[in-house]
Every structure is written in C-alpha cells, then in structure tokens.
C-alpha cells in the first residue's frame, strides 16, 4: 500500500514565535513541508531591524532592542548562544522620572528580569538564527519555504480539511494540512478596523468547520487587547552622534509619571560601526492610540494596502515625538539636536499584548488542525520574546506528539 506523504504546515508570521516554532519542529523531527508567510521584508517581527538597500551601514533595532529570559532557559537558547546568533546584553540601563531625574533601573521593568540578550549584528539575527537552526535540524531535507513581503488576507478550508491561504485579490498562495498563526491579526476583530477588511479571516474560514473548540479559541482571541506604539527612528552623524554616545545609558525607560508627561515609554541608543548613532524612541500607548491611523510612509503593510498617510499627518507626529524627546533629555542634548537627525516614523498596531493572554491549553485545535503561538500566549514571559519562545516550543511538542501518534514509524531524533 502506498505510504501517505508527511503532513505539511503553513506558518503565518515570521516573528520570534513563528521562527521558533519552525526551529523546534525541525529539530524535533518534523518531516513535512513547511511554508512561512510574512508581510515584512524579512524575519523579525517585533525583533526586526530596519535596514536600507541604499545604505549598507544603517541598521536600527526599532522594536525590541534586547530580550530577557526570566526563568529556566528555553531549549532553543543554548544552540543560539553556541552559534553566536545571540550574545549577552551588557549596556547600561536607566529609568527617567517625571522631574527628568535619572535612576538606576530596577526590577519593576519586566524587560530587565533574569538574563539579558541581544541579537549579534542586529535583533533580526535572532529570527534569522532560528531559521538557520531549522535548516540544521534532522528534518532539514524537507526545507522551509519562506515568503516575505506577502500579506495573507483570507483563509479557507477545503472539503478534505486542508488549509488554504489567499492574498488580497483572493489568489491562492498555499495549501497545507496544518495552519499556525504566530500572531493574532488573522483571528482578531482589530483586523477589520486596522486593515479595512470586510471579515476576520480565521472566523470566516471556521464557519465551514464543526469545531466548538476552535469557536472557543476565536472567542478568547477576540477578547484579547493590546497596546500600540508610534516609534520615532532617528539617525545622527558627526558631532551630534557623539552627543548621543555620551548619554549615560543605552536603554532608558520612562516611569509611569514620566510617560504621562512626555508620552514616551522607552528609548534605545544604538551606536553604529561607522560612527553614526541610531535612536529608537517608543511612544506611550496613549499617544499611539491618538494617532492610530498614521502608519508611517515606510511601513510595508501600509504600502501593500495602499493606505499611505497624508504627509502632513506623518510630519505632525514626527514633530510631536521629536519635541517630547528633546524636552525629556534636555540635560544631555543641546537644543535642536533631535530635529537635526534623519527621522522617520514607524507604527506598531499591536506592539504589546495585555494580560491575561490566550490560555496555554488553547494552543492547538487538533480537530481543525490549527495552532497558535507567540507572545500573546499566557505563561512565563507573556508579552515578551521569552513568551514567544516558550509558547512555540510547547506547540511544537504538541504537533510532534500528534505526528507520532498518526505515524508510529515516526521517531524522535537521536
């Protein structure tokens, strides 16, 4: 009797969650085809690094400038360290209060708990390294087909139970036995508001399935809330870069009162190899909510949807963030320094999930063959890179258990 081919899987989202899932699956012996779908230009998600095709020396870690592990290390951490993909983060951190005073960072910042790491050569190296781990795993022969710059807009299920992915024009992108969402966009009602979609993709697809468990997960996902961020990205040169280098911190957190005063939440200073300095300033959640429709003209998702902001709106947001940053750091920056930098705007629609998150027991709907992973899953590391790593490893283990149950010949790698 002919043997059935190995199961295939489509992963939507090339952030830490999606890339870690693929690494864990391949290292665990997954033998089927894997396709990865990401709307950005490359892997990274919230750990992405902004680079330029015209400027090889430019890189800005515009999302998470580092990540921390607060509990027992995930299984994927050690091979990443051994390969030099990540390295300990040793730069000075500080906290700013509403009076403009600087304090040593304390344990109240969840990002500072435990061991701190960063991607070597840029935070996007973390996700790229995870995908490299996948290619080095026992199941590497099947390969991982990564598709960047592609926005999955619709989902459907065939009569045979296979998942189909479609683009904005409803052109078929892929078909797979299993679907994993490494983010909430395709399953959350916010997609209708942010992307002007007429439906929630997973909810629409689920109508053809008789799966109460999936309906329960959809209801749980719909109840999740997240905070947006409007990020000011700046590059300084020459004497201005030296001023930034002399600041007594590389990562600055604004405490609650300071955040309310300046409407900024976090700042990272990133010296570049050519002497320039990149700066990423994150707004408060309140500021971002007030300017939710202003994506930033260089946003990949805005370009794909044809929703570029009006220039005057983007200019106004950049000016407001610049003025706030200049005022907050008046003790370290000379007047007008922020405005002299090369500035651009980037907006995250769902930068930080809010508790309680998706319960861990809802990671996988085996009947519908759809799974979920990412920092929005409840548990240790919720809302951070650590949570994305841990949820992905848990989901991979569950999928591999099902694979082995369906195919007794499948064995764990030695």
Q: What pLDDT, in 10s, does the model give residues 263-278?
A: 999 999 999 999 999 9
Query: 150 with 289, same domain?
Result: no
Q: How many residues does the chain have?
A: 414
Q: Is there a contact between 291 and 279 (Cβ–Cβ < 8 Å)? A: no
**Cα–Cα distance, 231 to 235 (Å, whole number):** 13
Question: Is 209 a domain residue?
Answer: yes
Query: 210 with 171, same domain?
Result: yes
Predicted local distance difference test score (pLDDT) of residue 307: 62
Predicted local distance difference test score (pLDDT) of residue 413: 46
Residue range(s) defining the domain that contains residue 15: 9-48+123-224+354-406
Question: Is 53 a domain residue?
Answer: no
Q: Spell out where 133-254 has E strands.
A: 144-148, 154-157, 163-166, 172-176, 178-181, 226-236, 251-254
Question: Is 301 a domain residue?
Answer: yes
Q: Is there a contact between 34 and 21 (Cβ–Cβ < 8 Å)? A: no
Question: Is 411 a domain residue?
Answer: no
Query: 113 with 260, same domain?
Result: yes
Query: 174 with 265, same domain?
Result: no
Predicted local distance difference test score (pLDDT) of residue 332: 98
Pick from 237, 253, 208, 207: which is nearest to 97 by CA? 253
**Cα–Cα distance, 12 to 14 (Å, whole number):** 7
Number of domains in the chain: 2
CATH for 254? 3.90.660
Q: How confident is the model at residue 310 (pLDDT cuts 50, 70, 90)?
A: confident
Q: How many helices (H) and strands (E) does the chain have?
A: 13, 21
Query: 204 with 239, same domain?
Result: no
Query: 206 with 269, same domain?
Result: no
Q: How confident is the model at residue 96 (pLDDT cuts 50, 70, 90)?
A: very high
Q: What is the CA radius of gyration of the chain?
A: 22
Q: What is the side-by-side strand order in the sheet with 163-166?
A: 154-157, 163-166, 172-176
Q: How confident is the model at residue 139 (pLDDT cuts 50, 70, 90)?
A: low
Question: Of 327, 352, 377, which marks where a domain is finished?
Answer: 352
pLDDT of 74 strictly over 70: yes
Q: Is there a contact between 374 and 13 (Cβ–Cβ < 8 Å)? A: yes
Predicted local distance difference test score (pLDDT) of residue 412: 46
Question: Is 330 a domain residue?
Answer: yes
């Amino acid at each position: 009797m002919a043997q059935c081919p190995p199961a295939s899987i489509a992963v939507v989202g090339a952030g830490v969650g999606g890339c870690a899932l693929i690494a864990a699956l391949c290292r665990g012996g997954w033998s089927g085809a894997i396709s990865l779908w990401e709307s950005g230009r490359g892997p990274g998600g919230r750990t992405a690094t902004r680079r330029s095709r015209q400027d090889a020396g430019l890189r800005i870690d515009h999302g998470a400038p580092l990540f921390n592990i607060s509990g027992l290390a995930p299984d994927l951490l050690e091979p990443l360290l051994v390969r030099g993909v990540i390295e300990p983060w040793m730069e000075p951190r500080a906290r700013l209060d509403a009076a403009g005073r600087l304090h040593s960072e304390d344990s109240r910042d969840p990002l500072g708990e435990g061991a701190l790491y960063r991607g070597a050569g840029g935070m996007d190296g973390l996700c790229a390294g995870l995908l490299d781990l996948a290619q080095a795993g026992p199941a590497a022969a099947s390969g991982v087909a990564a598709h960047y710059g592609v926005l999955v807009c619709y989902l459907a299920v065939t009569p045979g139970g296979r998942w189909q992915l479609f683009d904005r024009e409803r052109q078929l992108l892929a078909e797979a036995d299993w679907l994993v969402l490494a983010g909430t966009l395709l399953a959350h009602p916010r997609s209708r508001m942010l992307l002007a979609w007429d439906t929630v993709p997973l909810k629409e697809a689920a109508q053809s399935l008789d799966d109460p468990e999936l309906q329960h997960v959809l209801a749980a996902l719909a109840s999740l809330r997240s905070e947006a961020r409007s990020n000011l990205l700046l590059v300084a040169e020459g004497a201005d870069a030296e001023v930034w280098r002399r600041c007594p911190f590389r990562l600055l957190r604004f405490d609650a009162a300071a955040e309310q005063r300046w409407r900024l939440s976090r700042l990272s200073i990133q010296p570049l190899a050519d002497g320039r300095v990149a700066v990423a300033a994150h707004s408060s959640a309140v500021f971002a909510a007030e300017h939710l429709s202003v994506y930033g003209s260089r946003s990949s998702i805005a370009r794909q949807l044809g929703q570029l902001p009006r220039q005057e709106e983007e200019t106004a947001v950049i000016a407001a963030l610049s003025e706030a940053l200049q005022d907050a750091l008046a003790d370290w920056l000379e007047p007008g320094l922020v405005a002299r930098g090369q500035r651009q705007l980037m907006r995250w629609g769902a930068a930080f999930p809010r508790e309680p998150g998706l319960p861990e027991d809802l990671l996988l709907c085996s009947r519908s063959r759809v799974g979920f992973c990412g920092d929005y899953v409840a548990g240790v590391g919720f809302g951070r890179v650590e949570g994305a790593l841990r949820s992905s490893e848990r989901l991979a283990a569950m999928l591999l258990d099902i694979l082995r149950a369906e195919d007794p010949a499948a064995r764990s790698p030695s």
